Amino acid sequence: MKKEPEKVFIRSKDGYEEITFKEFLMRKESDEEYGEKKFLPLHGMLMEVSEEDYAEYYRHRRREKYIAERSTSNGDISYHMLTTDEFNGEDILVDEQADTAAQAEQEIMRDKLRYAMLKLDEDEQLLIYRHYYAEIPTTKLAEIYGISQQAVSKRIVKIREKLKSIMEK
């Protein structure tokens, strides 16, 4: 990680426990078991994961790096190479059959959604990210947050209503 994470999520019998990075470092020094635990960076935080998830994550990263290096050495050009934080390389592809009005409307809605997401609290953003982008089911989220699946579903509905309200302004 480029900068020190603010939070660290470690597994506990009730799901995940949130601790500070300083507390994590102290535990790592005093407890040999922490040397064996695996953590992945996630939005400026560290999250403890299983050995399998850790290995799969870094296997995937190595594969992406290998493909990128091979493409560079072969002189390949891909629209993915044009992707930056501000621009998606796929946007340069033109579909002759595309309905440009619908595309424009979708882009406007995406922009509104991005703006609305920034208006949410960090915890709300994380829950929405985990559920919709990381595709973590509500049953698993219930374990992570240490609450019932129904409570997670209600939170998601409430956050979606909040997003809708923000987007309609």
Please state the rounded mean pLDDT for residues 88-110: 76
CATH for the stretch 97-169? 1.10.10.10
117-168 pLDDT tens trace: 999 999 999 999 999 889 999 999 999 999 999 999 999 999 999 999 988 8
Residue ranges of the domains in the chain? 97-169
pLDDT digits (tens, 9 = 90+) for 150-162: 999 999 999 999 9
The dihedral over CA atoms of 2, 123, 19, 58, expressed in degrees to the nearest 10, equals -50
Distance from C-alpha of 149 to C-alpha of 153, rounded to nearest angstrom: 6
pTM for this prediction: 0.41
- For residue 98, what pLDDT is reported? 63
Helix (H, G, I), strand (E, B) or coil at 12: strand
Query: What is the model's pLDDT at position 15?
Result: 87
